[in-house]
Amino acid sequence: MGSSKTPDYSRVVVIDDLLMDKQGIYPFKDGIVTHALMGRYGNMFLVNNRSTDIQNVSKGDVWRYYFVNTANARPFKIAISGAKMKMIASDQGVFEREFFADDFVISPGERYIVDIMFDFIDGKKQASLSAIHPSGPTLLSKFKMSGMATKSEVSSSDFAKLRMNAEESKEFEPIKAKLSQPPLKHLTIDAELTGPHASHMMTKSHSDGIEWDDDMGPMSADITSADVKWFMKDEETKKLNMDINWKFNHNESVKIRIDNKGKTHPMQHPIHFHGQRFVVLARNGKPNDNLAWKDTALLPAGETMDIVLDNQNKGKWMAHCHISEHLAVGMMIGFEVK
């Protein structure tokens, strides 16, 4: 394996948000799902259950962070300042090539493994991790410098290297050959609105196809499971959601196109497959040149994503949108691997 040497320290980072009102946590109701159109966006950000996470680190330390986003709906753009960040792996495996990054986007259900070297450049004694949104950054974690590293020499010279994971690249070769082939399955995404909200559903769409915040105001909560149905449609059979039941052979690799061009309420959807792994082969027809095994991938509004699903586990499975409210109003399909 060519994958990176594990740094001396590691930590799991659970990113979440919580919707609070004056009484406390905005209530969940019995038998009805609020925020069914947008999903429930929180107004308080949490890192490992704290509103501001503080960690002491030594100058020169390299830490490996295992990020997971457990929010109902919110994607986070995570940025670092005062330290350097290297992307190692995603949900199910390493990237073909490690790379340095200033920020990365993590949607509900996604995971990223990231190495951070605390070099505290420019004489600063503090580094920070923030969520970057159009309205500005929100501080998530503060890292305070507490002395010089003891084990850093090996780690920091290792940190400077960007590894090529040749074994994985080789494994991806037959998958990349599917670029020129038509997809075996084709899903489209849209929503259906009924009731008093049906006429005023368009929200302003962002140029990157991502709703970073719920800007619908109080109306967002009032659109419930009684008013909206989110669906994925099989373009071949025209079946919707759980009426879809694809049959695949064990170890069959299947190219699936997912189209998020629905007009009812354009927004992003994090698509998750149970029981298998996949790669994002292309977005909007443009090949992905740095593959990693995943099980969840964010599909912005107006975009198309081609994935290759690697059916290695027999059984009956589902795939769904990872926005909890979308899932609750039906946005899931079935498939079977025999």
Segment interacting with Cu ion (CB under 5 A) among 104-112, 151-159, 297-305, 326-334:
326-334
Binding of residue 321 to Cu ion (CB under 5 A): yes
| Cα diameter, the chain | 64
Give me the 217-256 binding string for Cu ion, x by CB under 5 A, dash otherwise: ----------------------------------------
Give whichever of 80 and 305 is closer to Cu ion, judged by the CB atom. 305
Give whichever of 128 and 268 is closer to Cu ion, judged by the CB atom. 268
Q: Provide the pairing of β-strand 9-18 with 62-69.
A: parallel
Binding of residue 86 to Cu ion (CB under 5 A): no
Give whichever of 113 and 244 is closer to Cu ion, judged by the CB atom. 244
Residues 66-85 contacting Cu ion, CB under 5 A = none
**Inter-residue contact 147 to 58 (CB < 8 Å):** yes
Closest CA to 322 of 276, 271, 265, 277: 271
Give whichever of 178 and 229 is closer to Cu ion, judged by the CB atom. 229
Helical residues (DSSP H) of 96-225, grouped into ranges: 152-159, 166-176, 219-222
Q: Provide the pairing of β-strand 269-273 with 296-299.
A: antiparallel
Give whichever of 213 and 252 is closer to Cu ion, judged by the CB atom. 213
What is the C-alpha separation between 172 and 182, in angstroms, rounded? 18
Residues 9-68 contacting Cu ion, CB under 5 A = none
Segment interacting with Cu ion (CB under 5 A) among 21-29, 146-154, 206-214, 318-326:
318-326
Residues 90-129 contacting Cu ion, CB under 5 A = none
What is the C-alpha separation between 277 and 162, in angstroms, rounded? 24
Considering only 309, 323, 332, 333, the residue that binds Cu ion (CB under 5 A) is: 323
Q: What is the DSSP letter of 240?
A: B
Q: How many helices (H) and strands (E) does the chain have?
A: 4, 24
Closest CA to 71 of 316, 268, 304: 268
Minimum separation from the CB atom of position 230 to Cu ion (A): 6
Segment interacting with Cu ion (CB under 5 A) among 97-105, 108-116, 211-219, 268-276:
268-276
Q: What's at 196, amino acid-wise?
A: P
Binding of residue 326 to Cu ion (CB under 5 A): yes
Give whichever of 87 and 323 is closer to Cu ion, judged by the CB atom. 323
What is the C-alpha separation between 99 and 117, in angstroms, rounded? 13
Residues 6+ apart with CB under 8 A from 212: 74, 75, 77, 133, 134, 135, 206
Minimum separation from the CB atom of position 106 to Cu ion (A): 16
Considering only 269, 272, 277, 294, the residue that binds Cu ion (CB under 5 A) is: 269
- Residues of the shown chain interacting with Cu ion in the complex, contacts defined by CB under 5 A: 269, 321, 323, 326
